[in-house]
Chain A
Amino acid sequence: MTQHPLIRVRDLNVHIDGQHILKNINISIPDKSVTSIIGPSGCGKTTLLKTFNRLLDDTANVTVSGSVLVDDEDIYAPHAEVTHIRKKMGLLSQRPYPLPMSIYDNVAYGPRIHGIRDKSTLDSIVEKQLKDTGLWDEVKERLHGPANKLSIGQQQRLCLARGLAVQPEIILGDESTSALDPVSTHTIEDLFVRLKEQYTIVLVTHILRQARRISDYIIFVYMGEIVEFGPTEEVLLHPKEELTRQYVKGFIS
């Protein structure tokens, strides 16, 4: 674990509609590695992920207390610039949602809104990101065709390319492979493993095998609290807590 992690959560509490969803969360997410958040449905793992890029702002009746430090900046500070915070993180949701435009424009969208207008710069960004996500050879002939004509696996890689194009430091994945077939799932998992050299990756997953295959660290969340956090092997094979052991064995879900 690095000495000074990118994401540090301090005394985070989240209430939604009066319900205490996340309780006293304190954690530092290791840099340049894959961290998986696991736990039963409704335990608050997606909420935890969404506190990192302030997407919770879009839900009514949410109160957040405590702090989330990203690059030493408290993203919940009153004057924090939310677009700037979100730009640092790429989000890959459960299903791919390409923007209603061409493949090229999907990848170029982020750079464009952040001020890049030069055609050749955009061209090279699009090419680089599509190559990084292994999509270039499949789509180079139809860059200006509609993005939603791609297969669902290709769309998910396009969404990843779109997110990477704004040069984030962190990638957040919310059960990013749950809608994909095994081959596409494998491709996305490989990408995560490859991308962790440059990015800090945080994934929510309910598939223990996936967490085991690709993550370096695991956070086990139960009823809104972090029960256990540690290196993957340790948490899955030698859990310190009884709850974790039961979850890993499949006794609680």
Chain B
Amino acid sequence: MGIKKRKTEETIVKILMISACVIVGSSLFLIVGTIVVKGIPYLTWDMVSKAPQGGFYIGKEGGVLNAIIGSLYVAGGATVLGLIISIPISVYLNIYLKSGSLLSKSAKLAYDVLFGIPSIVYGAFAFSIMIWLGVRASLLGGVIAVTLLIIPILVRTLDEVIATVPRELKHAALSLGATRWETAKVILRQIKPGIYTAVLLSFGRGVGDVASVLFTAGFSDNIPIYIDEPAATLPLAIFFQLSSPIPEVQGRAYASALILTLIILVIVIVSHFLATKHKHKL
């Protein structure tokens, strides 16, 4: 191949890469820009401090505090529950089982499949469990559905993080006479920053997912106090407000979207901060 042809190839690839970056960057800018421009005028103190009052959905007083609290409860509860379930799974698959064992390989394949299942399926599945258990659409229902949704995310992320830990570290602990659980504790300590990333990913997914909470969490104008009460979530609140023909209410949908984005932004910053801080401490 002549030098000229090679240089052309280099230029084409470069252009492709730059345009891909521009497309991604500008869509992010457009999304955030739209939400900010359309949402800021309606982002009042009332929006974040009040639950909907009578007539909120026809443009009268109130805010979406019920949905903010509901979303935080659902995503937070699901993340905690998800971690309680996922950490033992990852520890078992990666630390207790021998490297390359058949069970750990097949379990990982199963998680890859679960990872690809759309969230509406988790919602429907959780809904059928709720009927069986006699639980009505409630905070608990939402937490169950979102937990199911994020467990594959957590397990896969933790798997990948544990895979970065050299086997020799595991062997170092084992050869000091550590039991496998003691070894697991050393490894969990090593991957703490990765656990924060896993939490961030699953919380972000949980707080923004609408399909899984559609039938399971219900919707209510009240701020949920008990776990068996129906709870509003931000994605659903956005959906309901956006379907309204009233401009005032549509504007509030964008304000709600802005609130949701800000929540995720805060989570990203906090977990990033925790992860870097921990890395320096190590």
Contact = CB atoms under 8 A, between A and B. Distances in A.
B174 interface: yes
Contacts of B172: 91, 93, 97, 99, 159, 162
A160 to B, nearest CB: 11
4 nearest interchain CB pairs? A87-B177, A91-B175, A110-B176, A60-B98
Interface residues of B, number: 25
Contacts of B261: none
Contacts of A110: 176-177
A101 B168 contact: no
A58 B99 contact: yes
Interface of A: 53, 55, 57-61, 83-84, 86-87, 89-91, 93-95, 97, 99-101, 109-110, 113-114, 146, 148, 159, 162-163, 166, 172
Interface string B84-127: 00000000000000111110000000000000000000000000
A90 B175 contact: yes
Q: SS class of chain A's interface: helix, strand, loop or mixed?
A: mixed
A109 B174 contact: no
B32 interface: no
Contact of B98 (A58, A97, A148, A159): A58
Q: SS class of chain B's interface: helix, strand, loop or mixed?
A: helix
B189 A93 contact: no
Contact of B189 (A57, A59, A100): A100
Nearest to A99: B186
B175 A59 contact: no
B100 A61 contact: yes
A34 to B, nearest CB: 19
A97 B172 CA distance: 7
B102 to A, nearest CB: 7
A109 to B, nearest CB: 6
A13 to B, nearest CB: 19
Contact of B100 (A60, A84, A94): A60
Contact of A84 (B101, B102, B169, B177): B177
Contact of A58 (B169, B174, B282): B174
Contacts of A84: 177
